[in-house]
C-alpha cells in the first residue's frame, strides 16, 4: 500500500520556518546501547537532574536532528544526541501540525508500514539522517509522522542510502526488533537491489565486482586490491543500452559507503550525474542510482518481507529507442 506522508500538501506557508543559520552545538553524543533520553543525558553530563531536565524543557536537545522534550524518549544504538547552544523554535515530536519549510518539499511516500516497520521511497536530494549542515532528512519526516501515533512512537535507523540516491529506506518502529535486525543485518537481509544508469557500453553484460574500498585525504572513496580496506562485492547485469549509456540491475552483498558508484567508476563506467567521482554528463538531471528492492527475514517470525520502490521512469526513457 502506498500513501503519502502528511507533508504532501503545502498550500500554506509560514507555519514552520527553516532556521536561517544551522544551530550551534555544545555537545554531541553517540548512543551505544538502548536507554531513555533523560537517563542517558544524566550519565553523559556532570550536572544536576533539574539542569538536565531544563535542557529538554527549553528545546535544546536533538535526537538525530529532531528536537525532543520528552524525558523518557527511547534511544537506540547508533542514535546521535546533540545539545544546541540556543533553543529551537519548534519540536517536531511535539508538533500538532506538520512542520513546513519555506520551500516546497518533495512528498515522501510510504511503501510499507506495519506495527514494527516503516519503509519510505526516499527522493533524490534528501538525506537519510541529518548532517551538521542540513537538518531536513527522511528520519526527521518519518519522526514527525510517527509522533502522531503516540508519544513514544519513533523510527529507529537500520541503514542509510546516499543523499542523491532515491529509493527504499527502511526504519524499525520497535526498539527490540531494531536491535535484533541490526545485529544480524548481513545475515537476515537477502536482497539489496538497485538500478543504475552508467556511462558507456559494457563489454561484460553480467559480472561480479570484488575490490577493497578505502578513503583518501579528500574524503573520497576509491577501489583498491589492498585487503586492509573494506571488502565490497557488487553484482550487475546490463538490461538496456544505447551508444552512450547502460541501464544496470545491481545487487550488493556488502553495504559500503558509495560502493556501487566507486566500483563502477573503477572499471570505467561511472554512474551518470556522479560529479563526486568524475562524471559530469547528466542526461537524467540527477544521480543515476535508485534503491529498488530490500528483502529481509523477520528476526522473530522468520517470515520474509520485501519492499520495492518503482524505478524512476526517466531511467528507462533514456533507452526507449533501443527497444
Where does 185-322 sit in CATH, by number?
3.30.2350.10
Beta-carbon-side half-sphere exposure of residue 164 (alpha carbons within 13 Å) = 18
DSSP H helices, the chain, are 37-44, 49-57, 138-146, 175-183, 185-188, 259-266, 313-317
CATH superfamily membership of 23-183: RNA-binding S4 domain (3.10.290.10)
Least confident of 82-86, 227-231, 260-264: 82-86
pLDDT score for 246 = 97
pLDDT score for 23 = 65
Instruction: Name, of 75-84, 144-153, 247-256, the range with top average pLDDT.
Output: 247-256
Is 28 in a helix, a strand, or coil? strand
CA angle 210-213-214, nearest 5°?
160
Q: What is the pLDDT of residues 39-82, one digit of tens each?
A: 999 999 988 999 999 999 999 998 988 888 999 999 998 899 99
The C-alpha cell at 204 is 561484460
pLDDT score for 101 = 41
171 or 100, which is more confident: 171
pTM summary value: 0.80
Least confident of 81-95, 176-190, 253-267: 81-95
CA-CA distance, 148 to 131, in Å (whole number)?
A: 25
What is the domain partition of the chain in residue ranges?
23-183, 185-322
Neighbours of 12 (CB within 10 A): 8
Q: What is the pLDDT of residues 161-203, one digit of tens each?
A: 999 999 999 999 999 999 999 999 999 999 999 999 999 999 9
pLDDT class of 5 with cuts at 50, 70, 90: very low
pLDDT class of 92 with cuts at 50, 70, 90: very low
Amino acid at each position: 500500500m502506498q500513501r503519502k506522508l502528511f507533508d504532501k500538501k503545502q498550500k500554506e506557508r509560514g507555519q514552520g520556518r527553516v532556521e536561517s543559520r544551522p544551530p550551534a552545538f555544545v555537545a554531541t553524543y553517540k548512543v551505544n546501547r538502548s536507554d531513555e533520553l533523560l537517563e542517558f543525558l544524566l550519565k553523559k553530563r556532570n550536572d544536576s537532574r533539574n539542569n538536565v531536565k531544563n535542557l529538554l524543557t527549553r528545546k535544546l536537545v536533538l535526537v538525530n536532528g529532531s528536537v525532543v522534550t520528552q524525558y523518557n524518549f527511547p534511544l537506540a544504538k547508533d542514535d546521535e544526541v546533540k545539545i544546541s547552544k540556543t533553543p529551537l523554535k519548534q519540536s517536531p515530536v511535539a508538533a500538532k501540525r506538520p512542520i513546513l519549510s519555506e520551500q516546497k518539499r518533495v512528498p515522501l511516500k510510504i511503501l510499507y508500514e506495519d506495527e514494527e516497520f516503516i519503509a519510505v521511497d526516499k527522493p533524490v536530494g534528501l538525506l537519510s539522517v541529518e548532517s551538521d549542515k542540513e537538518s531536513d532528512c527522511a528520519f526527521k519526516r518519518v519522526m514527525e509522522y510517527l509522533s502522531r501515533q503516540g508519544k513514544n512512537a519513533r523510527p529507529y535507523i537500520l541503514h542509510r542510502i546516499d543523499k542523491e540516491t532515491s529509493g527504499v529506506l527502511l526504519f524499525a518502529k520497535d526498539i527490540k526488533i531494531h536491535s535484533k535486525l541490526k545485529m544480524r543485518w548481513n545475515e537476515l537481509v537477502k536482497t539489496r537491489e538497485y538500478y543504475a544508469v552508467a556511462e558507456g557500453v559494457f563489454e561484460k553484460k553480467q559480472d561480479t565486482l570484488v575490490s577493497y574500498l578505502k578513503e583518501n585525504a579528500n574524503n573520497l572513496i576509491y577501489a583498491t586490491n589492498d585487503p586492509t580496506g573494506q571488502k565490497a562485492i557488487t553484482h550487475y547485469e546490463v538490461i538496456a543500452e544505447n551508444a552512450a549509456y547502460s541501464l544496470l540491475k545491481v545487487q550488493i552483498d556488502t553495504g559500503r559507503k558509495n560502493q556501487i558508484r566507486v566500483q563502477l567508476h573503477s572499471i570505467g563506467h561511472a554512474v551518470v550525474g556522479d560529479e563526486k567521482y568524475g562524471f559530469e554528463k547528466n542526461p537524467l538531471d540527477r544521480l543515476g542510482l535508485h534503491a529498488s528492492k530490500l528483502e529481509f527475514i523477520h528476526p522473530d517470525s522468520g517470515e520474509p518481507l520485501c519492499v520495492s520502490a518503482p524505478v524512476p521512469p526517466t531511467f528507462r526513457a533514456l533507452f526507449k529507442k533501443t527497444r
